[in-house]
Amino acid sequence: MNKEGIKFSVKGDLGTGNIMRKQTKGKKDDGSDSTTVEMEEPVELTFALRYLNFFTKATPLSDKVRLHLSKDVPLMVEYAIENIGHLRYYLAPKIDDEAA
């Protein structure tokens, strides 16, 4: 994540992929089609895609998802569920063996 937006990358046995989401206003009147990026400092973290895929099973429960990223802190994926509250998942970043 940086001032330009947030970039998601994946690399595996079958290939690689990248997607960049920049801050945008929604096309719909309620703003549900928008991407908002709030950042205090740039951060680059690595997570296990397997677990993130589990989290996406909750996507039909909410119109919005919030990703809270911070260095040395687990990722928080939050789905706001109207008239009930929210559902939050936490995932610790992968530790780079080469940095140790």
- Residues 45-92: pLDDT tens digits? 888 888 999 999 999 999 888 988 888 889 999 999 988 999 999 999
Residue 98 backbone dihedrals phi, psi, to 5 degrees = -70, -25
- Residue 77's nearest CA partner among 97, 59, 98 is 59
**Within-domain flag for 78:** yes
Give domain status of residue 1, yes or no: no
Residue 86 CA to residue 96 CA, distance in Å, equals: 31
* CA pair distance 19, 29, nearest whole angstrom: 25
* Per-residue pLDDT at 77: 93
What residue numbers bound the domain in which 68 lies? 6-99
Tell me, yes or no, whether 70 lies in a domain: yes
Look at residue 61 and tell me if it is in a domain.
Answer: yes
- Beta pairing partners, 68: 76
The CATH number given to whatever domain includes residue 86 is 3.10.150.10
Helix ranges (H only) for the chain are 49-55
Residue 99 has pLDDT above 60, yes or no: no
Share of the chain above pLDDT 90, in %: 31
pTM of this structure: 0.74
Q: Tell me if 72 is assigned to some domain.
A: yes
Q: Write the CB contacts of 92 (distance below 8 Å, at least 6 apart in sequence).
A: 74, 75
User: Does 54 fall in a domain?
Assistant: yes
> What confidence score (pLDDT) does residue 30 get?
58
Q: Is residue 46 part of a domain?
A: yes
Task: Please tell me the total count of domains within the chain.
Answer: 1
Q: Rounded distance, CA 95 to CA 25, Å? A: 35
Do 46 and 96 meet the contact criterion of CB atoms below 8 Å apart?
A: yes
